């Protein structure tokens, strides 16, 4: 503990994951989904986080995960949670600069563990930190490797509009949102047959018109609806238009949480994310979000406005679309049979 913390006055401030004091252990109705519920965008970062991760997921009715995990953790996860995990291949994020040879080896390693998707993190912050671009010549061999293996691509392009209006205003350093989407689309056009996921509603939930154009232009593009605070803020902000967008594009949107595990992230933290997503997509809840949104002032914290999506749309986003996407890649989740209770 730092000196500052050690001497700080004790406060009664509630935790950032539960500013409204919800009892996340209260039961939530089981999802009305036929088949398994899949979280298509998650970050289970260490196998030791697995027990509380799966306990929390079970409480919220989420069965299986597509996760961006370090390669070093992957074998243990597959052993301990058979049939519940598929991996999206990622580079070694903690490196100061990208190591393309290492990433190439990791893609092969993940492929050998059954992974059929690769993540390209191309947010403004990552473009700046790693001095790379999706459309750069150095990325070509990676893209060729991925597509020639028949793997799918997930891209993170864009970021919250609040960040473009805030920390990304130096365009000479970060570029503009328009430039970022030109970069993405120029590469997506080159690989029209590659199944593609635009993370976090294509990185621009604030602009449903842009998302509609992307979906209409690129038939192999799907969008995941991951990132809890971002989605709560921006989907709630245009609740009725967002609901129409989800219904119109029900076959193209895949549920993801963007849940990130951590040594200090227990049941309540993980529960807050699943709780907010389920309220947002399934219910007509109108009320405060339990999660502090650091992008907004204390006195303007967001009101969560649930979309109350029709059952058929929920079936698509929680199950059907993910299953269909994975099936194209030759993948499925195969849960082990339930343990038999002895009769008599
Ligand atoms: Zn993520």
> pLDDT by residue for the chain (344 residues), tens digit each?
444 444 455 567 889 999 999 999 999 898 989 999 999 999 999 999 999 999 999 999 999 999 999 999 999 999 999 999 999 999 999 999 999 999 999 999 999 999 999 999 999 999 999 999 999 999 999 999 999 999 999 999 999 999 999 999 999 999 999 999 999 999 999 999 999 999 999 999 999 999 999 999 999 999 999 999 999 999 999 999 999 999 999 999 999 999 999 999 999 999 999 999 999 999 999 999 999 999 999 999 999 999 999 999 999 999 999 999 999 999 999 998 877 766 54
127 Cα–ligand 1 center, Å: 16
121 Cα–ligand 1 center, Å: 9
178: exposed, middle or buried (Cβ count in 10 Å: 0-12, 13-18, 19+): exposed
Query: Alpha-carbon distance 97 to 91, whole Å?
Result: 11
Q: What is the pTM of this model?
A: 0.94
258 Cα–ligand 1 center, Å: 5
286 Cα–ligand 1 center, Å: 26
241 Cα–ligand 1 center, Å: 25
271 Cα–ligand 1 center, Å: 17
Sheet holding 196-198, edge to edge: 117-122, 152-157, 196-198, 221-224, 253-254
226 Cα–ligand 1 center, Å: 7
111 Cα–ligand 1 center, Å: 20
Write the CATH number of the domain with boundaries 37-328.
Answer: 3.20.20.140
42 Cα–ligand 1 center, Å: 6
160 Cα–ligand 1 center, Å: 13
67 Cα–ligand 1 center, Å: 9
41 Cα–ligand 1 center, Å: 6
118 Cα–ligand 1 center, Å: 13
Report whether 321 contacts 254 (CB < 8 A): yes
């Amino acid at each position: 503990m730092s000196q500052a913390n050690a001497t700080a006055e004790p406060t009664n401030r509630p935790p950032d994951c539960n500013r409204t004091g919800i009892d996340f252990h209260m039961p939530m109705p089981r999802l009305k989904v036929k088949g398994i519920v899949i979280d298509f965008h998650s970050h289970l970062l260490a196998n030791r986080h697995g027990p509380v991760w799966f306990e929390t997921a079970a409480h919220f009715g989420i069965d299986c995960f597509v996760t961006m995990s370090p390669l070093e953790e992957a074998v243990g996860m597959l052993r301990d949670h058979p049939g519940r995990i598929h991996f999206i291949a990622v580079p070694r994020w903690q490196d100061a600069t990208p190591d393309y040879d290492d990433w190439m080896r990791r893609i092969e390693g993940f492929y050998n563990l059954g992974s059929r998707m690769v993540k390209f993190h191309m947010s403004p912050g990552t473009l700046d930190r790693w001095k790379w671009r999706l459309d750069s010549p150095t990325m070509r061999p990676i893209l060729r490797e991925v597509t020639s293996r028949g793997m799918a691509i997930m891209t993170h392009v864009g970021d919250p509009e609040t960040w473009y209006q805030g920390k990304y205003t130096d365009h000479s350093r970060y570029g503009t949102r328009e430039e970022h989407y030109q970069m993405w689309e120029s590469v997506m056009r080159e690989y029209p047959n590659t199944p593609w996921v635009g993370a976090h509603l294509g990185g621009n939930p604030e602009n449903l018109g842009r998302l509609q154009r992307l979906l209409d232009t690129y038939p192999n593009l799907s969008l995941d609806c991951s990132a809890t605070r971002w989605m709560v803020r921006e989907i709630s902000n245009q609740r009725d238009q967002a609901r129409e967008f989800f219904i119109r594009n029900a076959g193209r949107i895949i549920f993801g949480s963007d849940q990130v595990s951590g040594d200090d992230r227990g049941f309540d933290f993980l529960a807050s994310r699943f709780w907010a997503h389920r309220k947002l997509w399934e219910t007509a809840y109108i009320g405060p979000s339990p999660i502090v949104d650091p992008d907004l002032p204390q006195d303007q914290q967001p009101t969560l406005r649930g979309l109350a999506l029709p059952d058929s749309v929920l079936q698509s986003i929680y199950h059907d679309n993910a299953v269909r996407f994975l099936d194209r890649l030759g993948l499925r989740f195969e849960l082990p049979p339930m343990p038999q209770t002895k009769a008599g």
